[in-house]
Amino acid sequence: MSPALISTAFDEKSGGGILYSRSSVCNSKATVQNNLEGEKRYFKVASWYDNKWGYASRVVNLVHYLHLRDTIKRNRKTRNRSVSPMDNEKYFHDYLNRCIPLLTEKGVKKLRDATVAVAGCGGAGGASAITLARMGVGKFKLADPGVFDAPDINRQWAANIPNLGRNKTEGYEDALLAINPDIEVKKYEEGVTGTNIVDFLEGADLLIDCLDISVSASLMSRMHEQARQQKIYSAASIILGFGAICYCSSPFGMPMERLVRMLDSGTAESKFPSILRTVFMPQHLDIIEKKIPTHKLPSVPISCMVAAAVLSTEIILILLGKLLPGARKPVCLPRLIIADFLRLSYQVVDIDSIPLE
């Protein structure tokens, strides 16, 4: 609802709302309980909808949507008219021509048959999906309830002016199909929820967790536990400053639960573990920590590129194993990878060196 609804504690008057691009302005001061004695189930909410800027913003969103819809239709017609199944097969090997010597023919075939579930199609999740598609991964499950807004454009690969207001899974589906028209995509526009976790992970060979900072720790834990039950790896990343923290969990090794609890604790306290200051620029961490309560963290596109590069490398190692020439074992918990390109620092850290509190 974020593009349409905003809550404010100020005393706005009907007919005003010039400060808001949302369609409806909810006044939290005017929200009151309206219950029978002893009950706490009913609330009276006051919200103004006669917001002229909000209405104008929705008109702009509609124009963007209609333009994008028509563009997609034209592209699909052109693709269907000019590319036959035989052409698609040739194209697949043509666009992977320089990957095949490094990934091998057998490796590319395995990636083509692989299914990657991406929970959270933001900066790191979306960039990882596109990176993997460029190496031949043929099937994706994308889950994200969010829509693209202007601040996403600084770091999210499918975020652009025509995509503003669109669900992120739709934007990344188009981006993936533009790379490989044979890619199979199943979208979960409601995001990962308590009721769809099993379906989301069914048939997946690997889970990428790039869920938003606002997602509850209990939902994250349930998702990783389901992946573990299905005996598939989980890979996750957090973007920070000019770098990222990346970590994987083997279904036969340490589970994600401890990391989830650490992240939840850090979010609640708006504080990063002190060890991160040995890798990331302390000045950047100070700036980001102040913004943790807002769930709108400062970022640059470089951090998403770092996250996608490191995550995709570990994922290729997980999916291909010894098929990859020069392969090593993927870095899995209790170890995690921390890198900051601006500080020229890189460490593989054992989680036991990071205090839980």
Residue 29: the pLDDT is 66
Residue 17: the pLDDT is 47
- Rounded to 5°, the CA angle 118-122-126 comes to 55
Residue 353: the pLDDT is 74
Of 292, 293, 271, which is closest to residue 282 (Cα–Cα)? 271
Residue 266: the pLDDT is 73
Alpha-carbon distances, residue 109 vs 19, 135, 320 (angstroms): 53, 11, 10
Residue 63: the pLDDT is 75
- 130-185 pLDDT, tens digit per residue, is 999 999 999 999 999 999 999 999 999 999 999 999 999 999 999 999 999 999 99
Residue 219: the pLDDT is 94
Residue 87: the pLDDT is 79
Residue 286: the pLDDT is 93
Across the range 319-343, mean pLDDT stands at 96
pTM (two decimals): 0.76
**Who has greater pLDDT, 353 or 150?**
150
Residue type, 154: N
Residue 261: the pLDDT is 85
State the average pLDDT for the chain: 86
Dist CA 138 CA 135 (whole Å): 9
- Token digits of residue 347: 């460490």
Q: Percent of the chain at pLDDT above 70?
A: 80
Across the range 19-38, mean pLDDT stands at 66
Residue 220: the pLDDT is 94
Of 44, 40, 7, 12, which is closest to residue 26 (Cα–Cα)? 7
- 48-99 pLDDT, tens digit per residue, is 666 676 777 777 777 767 776 676 666 655 555 544 554 788 999 999 999 9
Across the range 319-345, mean pLDDT stands at 96
Q: Is the pLDDT of residue 336 over 90?
A: yes
Which pairs from 59-62 meet CB under 8 Å and 24+ separation? 61/3, 61/164, 61/165
Residue 79: the pLDDT is 53
Of 255, 167, 168, 242, which is closest to residue 207 (Cα–Cα)? 255
Q: Is the dihedral of CA 301, 303, 306, 307 positive or negative?
A: negative
Domains along the sequence of the chain with CATH: 1-82 (no CATH), 93-353 (3.40.50.720)
Residue 126 near residue 158 (C-beta atoms within 8 A) = yes
- 265-316 pLDDT, tens digit per residue, is 777 777 888 888 999 999 999 999 998 888 889 999 999 999 999 999 999 9
Across the range 202-230, mean pLDDT stands at 94
Q: Is the pLDDT of residue 15 over 50?
A: no
Residue type, 328: R
Band of pLDDT at residue 16, cut at 50, 70 and 90: very low
Other Cβ atoms less than 10 A from the Cβ of 298: the count is 13
